[in-house]
């Protein structure tokens, strides 16, 4: 048992996930993100979205890309790709249009039941990010936790506007990573 624990500890040390020297350990530094005060999610009328053929094709592409990335790439690779794309487009972005984003989120929410894996936040958030990217909208991908009882969750947010969750669903979560 000691040999197995030593092997695991050495592997973690080698990847710099743990340290033997407390002086060299980094203090936790949670990401800065404005407190959410608005949501684009329209719970009362997802069926009223005006879905175009373009929306449908963008939705299918986003779902395929999200499925592919989560199945064949590590989470680190997926996060790196999303971060690099967002950073690349950050300088080219026109002013953020909440109304356009609301329409797109509503169309995505309306189409979402067509695919399996409802309720999986990782897939839902990544598929929405891919969908919005096809319309040159690049919000943040937020990962958060709550300790008691433990919950890990992710969602899409731009500044204080949450795209795909009601505010009360994320109010008790602490963001630990913003992509």
Query: Which pair of structure tokens corresponds to residue 154?
Result: 């992710």
CA-to-CA separations, 24 to 9, 18, 20, 175, 177, in angstroms, rounded: 17, 10, 8, 24, 22
Query: Which pair of structure tokens corresponds to residue 1?
Result: 């048992």
pLDDT confidence of residue 26: 62
pLDDT confidence of residue 24: 60
DSSP assigned state of 154: E
Q: How many other C-beta atoms are found inside a 10 Å radius of the C-beta of residue 54?
A: 11
Q: What is the mean pLDDT of residues 78-104?
A: 86
For residues 27 and 5, give the distance between their C-alpha atoms in angstroms, rounded to a whole number. Answer: 25
DSSP assigned state of 25: S
pTM, rounded to two decimals: 0.82
């Amino acid at each position: 048992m000691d040999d197995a624990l030593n092997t695991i500890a050495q592997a973690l040390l080698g990847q710099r996930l743990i340290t033997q020297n407390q002086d060299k350990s980094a203090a936790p530094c949670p990401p800065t993100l404005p407190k959410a005060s608005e949501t684009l999610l329209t719970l009362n009328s997802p069926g009223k979205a005006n879905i175009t053929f373009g929306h449908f094709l963008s939705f299918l592409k986003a779902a395929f890309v999200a499925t592919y990335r989560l199945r064949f790439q590590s989470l680190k690779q997926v996060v790196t790709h999303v971060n690099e794309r967002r950073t690349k487009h950050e300088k080219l972005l026109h002013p953020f249009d909440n109304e356009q984003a609301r329409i797109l989120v509503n169309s995505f929410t309306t189409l979402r039941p067509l695919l399996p894996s409802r309720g999986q936040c990782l897939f839902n958030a990544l598929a929405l990010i891919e969908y919005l990217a096809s319309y040159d909208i690049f919000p943040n991908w937020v990962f958060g936790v709550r300790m008691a009882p433990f919950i890990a969750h992710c969602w899409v947010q731009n500044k204080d506007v949450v795209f795909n969750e009601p505010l009360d669903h994320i109010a008790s979560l602490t963001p630990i990573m913003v992509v």
